[in-house]
């Protein structure tokens, strides 16, 4: 494992039946899951799965019902024992741990959030959140302090002394998330964690998870059957079919290069505005002016030769500084000592390259010019205009129609 690999799964199998060795032998002879079941009565829940989860990412495993995704995630913490294969976490094979080693590993390194809230009605929110720490025999003062910190992280600090029946469904699921966070795990497993929530609360919980991830950078394996959810929260996605991992990639990679017709079928009708980012669409087709060497008169000449109305000012390291127009430059040229920076237009803010285009359609539509796009370090990546935005949406819609 290298430094960025938190979890490595290699050739993982789960066979449900009396003689799994026979079923695996038949699979290696070329028989599929259905044929093996017909011949032996045994079911291949997970078939030769291999993938890597990087430290600090949200890795979404998705597939239709019966694809094996929930079986797979339960093998990652040995709630289900694998039939064969390796599950390497921080260099140690979970599949080979003794019961004692496994218990210690679960206490210190891994937590799970289920679809059902599984809160105990007779315990307060604080006590529910601290319950796992209590089982680990953490002293009361420490476990309650850690539980309260976790509740504050999910916005429930003021409800610590409430009881579950006093909370909404979304708030109860936040308690489940806080309970997992209280253990301070390096790996969090979330099995359809938001599926039981209504759409609005579900969306809020997805936002909550992404916001928490920005702060804490935990390694999260998230199981979902919902493509929009996977696209919204996942850094990378693994798609499963019939127990197999069919494809692993970023949302954009899978959208643009589906491995087969099964993967392609997932993306029919997908809202590409939630998948494409500003950086995917931006181009450097407009005039740019190097701030240190440029002046008002030369900037006007450059814009005039290019037949443009606006220019985007960067320095030699491509750091973005602002937008100027023909009108603002001409006005500044009349000054006694014209300075390029005085011609920069107010109220034109750059867009971060990782922003979903669905979040900027309105802003781009109302802007007087193409809007500049910058990376996380403020470096200029290009411009996104109304025409470019419409072209991208139309192209992607046609390709996925």
Which CATH entry fits the domain spanning 279-395: 2.40.50.140, 3.10.580.10, 3.40.50.2300, 3.40.50.20? 3.10.580.10
Beta carbons of 310 and 325 less than 8 angstroms apart: yes
The predicted structure's pLDDT at residue 239:
93
* Count of positions (residues) in the chain: 401
The predicted structure's pLDDT at residue 401:
44
Segment (H or E) for 40 = helix 33-40
The predicted structure's pLDDT at residue 63:
86
Per CATH, domain 5-13+49-274 is 1.10.3470.10:
no
**Paired tokens of 369:** 């010019």
Q: Do the domains 5-13+49-274 and 279-395 sit in the same CATH topology, yes or no? A: no
Residue 47 and residue 272: Cα distance in Å, rounded?
Answer: 31
Residue 249 and residue 345: Cα distance in Å, rounded?
Answer: 40
Q: List, for the chain, all residue ranges whose pLDDT scores fall below the cut of 70.
A: 1-3, 115-117, 267-275, 290, 292-293, 392-401
| DSSP SS3 for 318 | coil
Ordered by start, the domain boundaries in the chain are 5-13+49-274, 279-395
pTM: 0.67
Residues ≥6 apart with Cβ < 8 Å to 210: 58, 232, 233
Q: Phi and psi dihedrals of 295, rounded to 5?
A: -140, 175
Residue 41 and residue 37: Cα distance in Å, rounded?
Answer: 4
The predicted structure's pLDDT at residue 393:
66
Segment (H or E) for 58 = strand 58-63
């Amino acid at each position: 494992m290298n430094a960025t690999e938190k979890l490595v799964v290699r050739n993982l199998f789960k066979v449900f039946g009396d003689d799994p060795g026979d079923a695996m032998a038949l699979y290696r002879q070329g028989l599929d899951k259905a044929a093996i079941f017909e011949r032996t009565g045994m079911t291949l829940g997970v078939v030769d799965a291999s993938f890597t989860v990087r430290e600090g990412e949200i890795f979404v495993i998705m597939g239709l019902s019966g694809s094996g995704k929930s079986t797979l995630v339960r093998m990652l913490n040995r709630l289900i024992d694998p039939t064969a294969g390796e599950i390497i976490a921080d260099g140690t094979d979970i599949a080979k741990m003794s019961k004692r080693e496994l218990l210690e590993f679960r206490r210190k390194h891994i937590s799970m959030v289920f679809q059902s809230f599984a809160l105990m009605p007779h315990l307060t929110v604080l006590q529910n959140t601290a319950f796992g720490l209590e089982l680990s025999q953490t002293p009361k003062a420490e476990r309650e302090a850690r539980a309260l910190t976790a509740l504050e992280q999910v916005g429930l600090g003021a409800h610590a002394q409430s009881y579950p029946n006093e909370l909404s469904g979304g708030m109860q699921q936040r308690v489940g998330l806080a309970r997992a966070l209280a253990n301070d795990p390096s790996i969090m497993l979330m099995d359809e964690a938001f599926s039981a929530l209504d759409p609005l609360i579900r969306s809020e919980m997805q936002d909550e998870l992404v916001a928490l991830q920005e702060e804490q950078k935990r390694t999260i394996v998230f199981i979902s059957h919902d493509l929009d959810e996977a696209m919204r929260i996942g850094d990378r996605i693994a798609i499963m079919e019939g127990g197999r991992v069919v494809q692993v990639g970023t949302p954009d990679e899978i959208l643009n290069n589906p491995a087969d017709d099964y993967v392609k079928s997932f993306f029919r009708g997908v809202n590409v505005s939630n998948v494409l980012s500003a950086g995917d669409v931006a181009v450097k087709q407009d005039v740019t002016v190097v701030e240190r060497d440029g002046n008002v008169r030369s900037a006007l000449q450059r814009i005039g030769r290019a037949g443009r109305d606006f220019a985007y000012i960067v320095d030699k390291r491509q750091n973005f500084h602002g937008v100027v127009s023909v009108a603002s430059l001409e006005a500044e040229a009349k000054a006694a000592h014209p300075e390029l920076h005085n011609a920069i237009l107010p109220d034109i803010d750059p867009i971060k390259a990782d922003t979903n285009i669905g979040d900027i359609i309105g802003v781009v539509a109302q802007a007087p010019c193409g809007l500049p796009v910058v990376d996380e370090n403020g470096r200029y990546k290009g411009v996104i205009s109304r025409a470019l935005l419409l072209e991208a949406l139309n192209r992607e819609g046609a390709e996925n129609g």
